[in-house]
Amino acid sequence: MNLSAIEESILGGTTARRGDAVFVSGEGCWLTDIDGNRYLDLGSAQGVAMLGHCHPHVTEAIARQAHTLALCPNYLYNDVRAQFAEALVGVLPKHLPHAFLCNSGAEAVDGAMKFARLVTGRSAFVATTKGFHGRTFGALSVTWEPKYREGFEPLLETTHVPFNDAAALDAAVTDRTAAVILEVVQGESGVNLAQPGFLHAAERACRQRGALLIIDEIQTGFGRTGRWFAIEHGAIAPDIICMAKGLGGGFPMGAFAYTAGIRAKLSAGSHGSTFGGSPLACAAGLAAIQTYAAEGLIERSATLGAQMLADLKSALADVPIVRDVRGLGLMLAIELRTKVAPVLKSLMLEHRVIALPAGPTILRLLPPLVISDEEIALGITAIAAALEAASTTPARRSAATAS
């Protein structure tokens, strides 16, 4: 039975696959295919498996809860949901004491945008070029990449301003703006770091003109950048932050947190979710938050990330096709002078290392926070070998020299 062919014939059409390997299990930073081959996962399943695959604390919590109570609608109280909510608020910035629980990052963004419209009575949004916030209609409206938007327009009214252009952002925020939505570190477009002045300008413009500031922490939250949340690097106080990925420790879960002022303007029925905040998801999320804290993974991300960045820069210093190496915490990017797709394919098929793209020329690394020094070294060796090999073809060598 060709399982990859079956999956492609029924579920294919929207995703470009890398090879025909069928993955059947995972542990820590490793995935195992149906033939028993092991692959080092430096992408954490799109940045979700922050605790690695099948972390025992999370899997045990899910199993216990599945035997106890999997579903409990949000019009009924639940013990584990209350415990999770308390733990979540405990790690959130103090000015964000309220949250709505959903199932994904895109849902969190859509909910945040709904709340911004409700609270302000306005309809327009301001976002940034190269920003990515999801592919549902609300989230897609504030996502910049044209290829994701084409065929689905018209979308919600959004003005996209250049990332890190404070003057352009200030000019775009008007008395029609419901919210400005930003990432502190743009992930999908190449690990681009916001300048503190840009973040402060966004906060100032929102305060002056009555708009809300929404920060998308879906990829950056829960230690990815070496802090619980990336806003801690910029010392800003948004009205709403959106979360997912690392929130559930590998279990599908999303949330957005907001201020007491927003909470005061909500009423029963303002928003809802059938599956959001299920006991099963909350058990996973509670175990994840406890594990991040107990194992010191937030601080570890900062330390390992700085070392990994330095080691990557050293290992790739003389590789002709490498244009730049950058990152924050365990969120790293290698910008190339050539297309990244062949390199990603080589890494997986020849070196059994899984990494991510970020646009056509950027190799992105989002390793689990539990990755060891030895696994980092293994990954860097494989990446260096793949990039060295890619640099030796005549066409690529000429392109690298020309650029």
Catalytic residue among 84, 100, 132, 198: 132
The answer to whether residue 245 is catalytic is: yes
Task: Say which of 41, 110, 216, 239 is annotated catalytic.
Answer: 216
What are residue 301's phi and psi, to 5 degrees? -60, -40
Instruction: Report the distance separating Cα 41 and Cα 29, nearest Å.
Output: 5
User: Three-state SS for 237?
Assistant: coil
State the CB neighbour count (10 A cutoff) for residue 334.
Answer: 28
Determine whether 345 is an active site residue: no
How does 27-57 read in b/e, with b if 16+ C-beta sit within 10 Å? ebbbbbbeeeeebbbbbbbebbbbbbbebeb
Q: Of 115, 222, 245, 251, which residue is the catalytic one?
A: 245
Q: Is 154 exposed, middle or buried (0-12, 13-18, 19+ CB in 10 A)?
A: exposed
- Whether 157 and 190 have beta carbons less than 8 Å apart is answered as no
Q: How far is CA 211 from CA 163, 178, 186, in A?
A: 19, 5, 22
Closest CA to 381 of 331, 308, 285: 308
Q: Is the peptide bond before 154 cis (omega within 30 degrees of 0)?
A: yes
Q: What are the tokens at 60?
A: 């045990």
Q: Is 132 a catalytic residue?
A: yes
What is d(CA 108, CA 241) in angstroms, rounded to the nearest whole number? Answer: 9
Residues catalogued as catalytic = 132, 216, 245
